[in-house]
Amino acid sequence: MRWIAIFTNIKDSDALRKKHLQAHMDYFDRLAGTITLAGSTTPPGQSFSNGGVWIIKGVSYEEARRICEEDPFYLAGLRDRIDIFAFTVAPRFDELV
């Protein structure tokens, strides 16, 4: 099963994001193979992230939620919202994520 997690950060969170960025990246290293794709989102015309998207693979919904909630960004209070959806990859793209 694959999940797509969509994160929305709290407003004016750039300083908090920068402070915890290395721990966040280290978390990705520990979960390589489970978090298969990740990136930040930035609204048009802005220079800082307002959230992000992850693809999580091979775990239950409960485990995907736990993974999101153990992220250093979440623990630091950066995340305002996390939405998790089942994600079905089109056959042509299955090997990418």
What is the domain partition of the chain in residue ranges?
2-88
Instruction: Report the chain's mean pLDDT, rounded to a whole number.
Output: 95
User: Which residues, 6 or more positions from 14, have their beta carbon under 8 angstroms from its beta carbon?
Assistant: 48, 49
- pLDDT above 90 (res 74): yes
Q: What is the pLDDT of residue 96?
A: 82
For 23-61, what is each residue's pLDDT tens digit?
999 999 999 999 999 999 999 998 888 999 999 999 999
Q: Going by CATH, does the domain composed of 2-88 fall within 3.30.70.1060?
A: yes
